């Protein structure tokens, strides 16, 4: 039995499953949820992993299942979908707002190959100044680079485009 509202309810539950490393974002904000399949009493959720080595991937899959069981879904499973590969373009606008509020500059919306080179100006998530300096192309997790704002002098992280 599948109704539109069942699927909506599941989307709503998934929106309450946070990313373990950036808890301000849910798995829905990140654009990791590709599809929800409901058959009889079971739910299959298709998830796109972000970075291949991201240690959060398994935690996220586990958290999604736990949420489903907590909400009373009897049979739930997670299916990893590699294609098309996840890109930072899939982070929702709402997700980008949340990232900025959390103090992380969101990725620019150009996940083509050139965007890796990071030519675009990165704005400070606190004071919005475009006068920022790259400190390190790498950060505390695989998905982030480290910046400093030359205006308010605060360091901040930038969510890299892939």
Partner 1 sequence: MDSGAVLYRYVLRLGDNALILAQRLIELVTHGPELEEELANANFGLDYLGQARMFYSYAGELEGKGRAEDDFAFLRAEREFCNVLLLEQPNGHFGDTIARSVLFEVFYLRLLERLTACSDIRLAEIAACGEREIRYHKRHNVQWLVRLGDGTEESHRRVQTSVDNLWRYTGELFAADEIDTAMRDLFDGPDLGELQLGWQDDMAEILREATLDFPERQWMDEGGRRGQHTEHFGRLVAEMQYLQRSYPGLDW
Which residue among 5, 72, 117, 119 contacts partner 1 (CB under 8 A)? 117
136 binds partner 1 (CB under 8 A): yes
Q: Does 138 bind partner 1 (CB under 8 A)?
A: yes
Choice between 16 and 85, CB closer to partner 1: 85
Nearest CB to partner 1, comparing residues 70 and 134: 134
| Residue in the block written with tokens 């909400």 | 71
**Residue 23 φ/ψ, nearest 5 degrees:** -65, -10
> Whose CA is closest to 105, among 74, 127, 83, 75?
127
Under the binding rule (CB under 8 A), the answer on residue 153 touching partner 1 is no
Secondary structure class of 157 (helix, strand, coil): strand
Which residue's CB is nearer to partner 1, number 38 or number 142?
142
Q: Return the residue of 4, 72, 84, 119 that touches partner 1, per CB under 8 A.
A: 84
Find all residues with CB under 8 Å of 89, minimum gap 6, and list them: 31, 107, 109, 110, 111
Select from 139, 151, 152, 154 the one that contacts partner 1 (CB under 8 A). Answer: 139
Assigned token pair, 88? 């930072």
Q: Residues 70, 116, 121, 131: which binds partner 1 (CB under 8 A)? A: 116
Say whether residue 142 binds partner 1 (CB under 8 A). yes
Q: CB 142 → partner 1: shortest distance, Å?
A: 5
DSSP for residue 25: S
Helix or strand holding residue 6 (H, E): helix 4-14
Give the Cα-Cα-Cα angle 131, 134, 137 (nearest 5 degrees): 155
85 binds partner 1 (CB under 8 A): yes
Tokens of 129: 């100044």
User: Which residues inside 40-69 make contact with partner 1, applying CB under 8 A?
Assistant: 49, 51-55
**Site residues for partner 1 per CB under 8 A:** 49, 51-55, 82-85, 113, 116-117, 135-140, 142, 162
């Amino acid at each position: 039995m599948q109704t539109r509202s069942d699927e909506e309810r599941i989307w709503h539950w998934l929106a309450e499953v946070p990313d373990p490393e950036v808890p301000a974002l849910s798995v829905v904000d990140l654009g990791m949820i590709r599809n929800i399949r409901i058959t009889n009493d079971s739910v299959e959720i298709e998830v796109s992993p972000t970075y291949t080595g991201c240690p959060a991937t398994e935690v996220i899959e586990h958290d999604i299942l736990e949420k489903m069981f907590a909400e009373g879904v009897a049979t739930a499973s997670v299916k990893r979908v590699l294609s098309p590969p996840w890109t930072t373009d899939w982070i929702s606008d709402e997700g980008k707002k949340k990232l900025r509020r959390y103090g992380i500059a969101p990725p620019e919306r150009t996940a083509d190959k050139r965007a890796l080179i990071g030519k675009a100006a990165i704005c400070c998530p606190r004071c919005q100044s475009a006068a920022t300096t790259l400190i390190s192309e790498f950060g505390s997790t695989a998905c982030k680079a480290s910046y400093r704002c030359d205006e308010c002098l605060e360091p901040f992280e930038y969510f890299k485009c892939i």
